[in-house]
Amino acid sequence: MALQNGAFERLQEEYSSIRIENERIRDERLKKVYSEHPELKESDQKIMDILTEKALAALKGNDEAAYTDKLAQARAERETLIKAAGVDPAYADRIYTCPYCKDTGFIVKSDGPAEKCKCFRKRESEILLEQSGMAALLKNNNFSVMRTDVFDEETKDHFVKAVEYCRGFIDTFDTDYRNILFCGTVGTGKSFLSCCIASDLIATYHSVVYMSAKTLFDTLAEAQFSKEKLPDVAAVRERIYDCDLLIVDDLGTEMTNSFVGTELFSIITERYNSRRSVIISTNLELAQLRDRYSDRVFSRITGSYDVLRLYGPDLRSVL
């Protein structure tokens, strides 16, 4: 999934700024060395002149051997001057924050297309986390902090199986299209497992949007009906409809009306048609979902979502 709302372009601008800043630092360093050791400036210029002459000779088809000898001699003289001056031999080298991609964000291979550098992927993951709106939430809600000692044996076994399903959902996310409906009473781990999935997917450069049902429909309504927000409608819908994973938390806590029902059906249907996954968590029972929303919403959810029912103690009161 591409970074949203111009984020890719902004990331490219970040790399451009890094290159400009590193070039400025290099220029300042060269200026200082040359001011203190003008003989090094002359030596470097001499080498550049020989390289230019050699390149011109190659273009004209002339013999380059003579320039090779001159270049070797000039470089040997430069090494002697550097030792005498006591300066860092790398004073003229270009500066790169990332030595792998040379601050381009991409590594070009001779036998294939360019690949994103690990520094680019790290920054991309950070931006995707920012876009998800979950940065603070995921600090305390991920698999690394998961505990099962608060359950009795039966409940623990059930919860562990749900965790295994979630890990499988993550592992096959790019190849096996699935949706999840987490059902259960308050504090049984529905939102926690949703966050665990989001955390792992964001870490592997997938875009995730996490919203409570109330925030989701309030955002859509504001974008839809506020004249001041009209320019934002497309951006809002892009985030909701085009992200790799949409998480709708606490469905049923919003003020339900015809607008909510229409928007919910539109979201789950369009994302189903585009094979983009959705996770919904709710405290409602399936029968309550059917009564609260339309039959077509209920049919779509029960027909294309894996229902994971969680039960047990309210974890918020024991953790």
What Å distances lie between residue 115 and 63, 135, 203, 221, CA to CA? 39, 27, 18, 40
Residue 311 has pLDDT above 80, yes or no: yes
Confidence bin at 167 (pLDDT 50/70/90): very high
pTM: 0.67
Angle at CA 133, nearest 5°, toward 132 and 138?
90
pLDDT of residue 69: 87
- In the chain, pLDDT over 90 holds for what percent of residues? 49
Residues 6+ apart with CB under 8 A from 5: 131, 235, 238, 239
| Run of H or E residues at 290 | helix 286-292
Tell me the average pLDDT of the chain. 87
Please report the pLDDT score of residue 124 as a whole number.
79
Beta-carbon contacts of residue 64 (< 8 Å; ≥ 6 apart): 54, 57, 58
Average pLDDT over residues 238-264: 90
pLDDT given for residue 67 in this prediction? 86
| Closest alpha carbon to 251 in 222, 220, 214 | 214
Is pLDDT of 177 > 90? yes
d(CA 288, CA 252): 9
Residues 6+ apart with CB under 8 A from 184: 190, 283, 309, 310, 311
pLDDT of residue 1: 46
Q: How far apart are CA 178 and CA 195, in angstroms?
A: 17
Please compute the mean of the pLDDT values over residues 106-129 and round it to a whole number. Answer: 82
- The band of 319, judged by pLDDT with boundaries at 50, 70 and 90, is very low
Does 171 have pLDDT greater than 60? yes
The predicted pLDDT at position 271 comes to 95
Residue appearing with tokens 């039960």? 311
Residue 314: band (very low, low, confident or very high) from pLDDT cuts 50, 70, 90: low
The helix/strand count (H/E) of the chain reads as 13, 7
* CATH classification for the domain delimited by 133-318, as one of 3.30.830.10, 3.40.50.1000, 3.60.15.10, 3.40.50.300: 3.40.50.300
Where exactly are the structural domains of the chain?
A: 7-112, 133-318
Q: What is the pLDDT of residues 272-309, one digit of tens each?
A: 999 999 999 999 988 898 889 988 999 999 899 999 99
Q: Worst-scoring range by mean pLDDT, 15-24, 55-64, 156-165, 240-249?
A: 55-64
| 181 DSSP β-pair partners | 280, 307
Is the separation of the CB atoms in 191 and 127 below 8 Å? no
Sign of CA dihedral 262, 267, 272, 273: positive
Q: Give residue 63's pLDDT.
A: 77
Query: How far is residue 137's CA from residue 195's CA, in Å, rounded to a whole number?
Result: 8
- Pinpoint the alpha helices (H) of 103-257: 118-132, 135-139, 153-171, 190-203, 213-225, 233-242
**What are the tens digits of pLDDT across the range 188-234?**
889 899 999 999 998 888 888 888 999 889 888 887 776 565 555 66
How much is the average pLDDT of 24-50? 95
Mean pLDDT of the region 2-25: 85
Query: What is the 8-class DSSP label of residue 258?
Result: H
- pLDDT at residue number 31: 96
Closest CA to 205 of 80, 293, 120: 120
